[in-house]
Chains A and B, each alone.
Chain A
């Protein structure tokens, strides 16, 4: 399993979606993180190449035609993924509570 290096907020959201279940359909992740497939697909590819996730085919037989691709976060990657998600969550919380230049102690200073 390789180190991911810099993890973007979108990557953290994808990891969060992957942590939510044992195996998640790729399009379900796109829907959960509310990002475009152009953002999510490359993140999934990167995670797969780095050995964090494993792609597997939908095993249900009742659906005909091309099979859906599901992604499973590997057991050894789960604690690291959780760390990334927690770090991202803390960052979001900090930026949400930080006063903007127009506020003082959280109070609006405009006219």
Chain B
């Protein structure tokens, strides 16, 4: 019962103010008489929530459209200035934030990206630093 009341109260609260009183009485009557007609209270509650949500979204869309059309006509100058000011503050704070977080670049440490055999190993080039299987160093280039 408490759950039903909570859902019912949410549906009523979600309904636009101009319809709230009418819908509340209508849905209370439906909840009272619905079960006798074979319509469950649960589905009636769902219907109430859905109806209120749709009425609310319709209201918001309608109001948004009205404000836009008034702005287009040059009315609501205070609202336009307010929106422009808020946008300027937002953009300014973003720019300041980006500049504050930017740090001077660190000097890069050079990395050797040569192939493995060309990397210096202990002062010698890699491919010179090996001894043939025979053990003889004859004919090999000599270190100066």
A residues lining the B interface (CB < 8 Å): 26-27, 30-31, 36-42, 45-46, 49, 55, 58, 65-69
Contacts and interface: CB of A to CB of B under 8 A. Distances in A.
A39 B46 CA distance: 10
A2 B22 CA distance: 22
Interface residues on B, range: 20 to 34
Contacts of A39: 47
Contacts of A69: 22, 25-26, 29-30
21 contacts: A27-B30, A27-B33, A30-B47, A31-B37, A37-B34, A37-B39, A37-B43, A37-B48, A38-B47, A38-B50, A41-B51, A45-B51, A46-B54, A49-B58, A58-B29, A65-B28, A65-B32, A66-B25, A68-B30, A68-B33, A69-B30
A39 B51 CA distance: 9
For the residues of A in contact with B, the DSSP-based class is helix
B38 interface: yes
Interface of B: 22, 25-26, 28-30, 32-34, 37-39, 43-44, 46-51, 54-55, 58
Contacts of B32: 65-66
Given A58-B29, A66-B26, 6 more contacts: A27-B34, A27-B39, A41-B47, A45-B55, A49-B58, A68-B30
Contacts of A40: 47
Nearest to A30: B39
A31 B37 CA distance: 8
Contacts of A49: 58
Contacts of B38: 31
- Is chain B's binding surface mostly helix, strand, loop or mixed? helix
Contacts of A42: 50-51, 54
Contacts of A31: 37-39
B28 to A, nearest CB: 4
Contacts of B44: 37
A50 B54 CA distance: 14
Given A27-B34, A30-B39, A45-B55, A36 B29 contact: no
Residue of B22, B29, B33, B44 with highest tally of chain A CB at under 10 A:
B29
Contact of B28 (A36, A37, A45, A66): A66
A36 B41 CA distance: 11
Contacts of B34: 27, 37
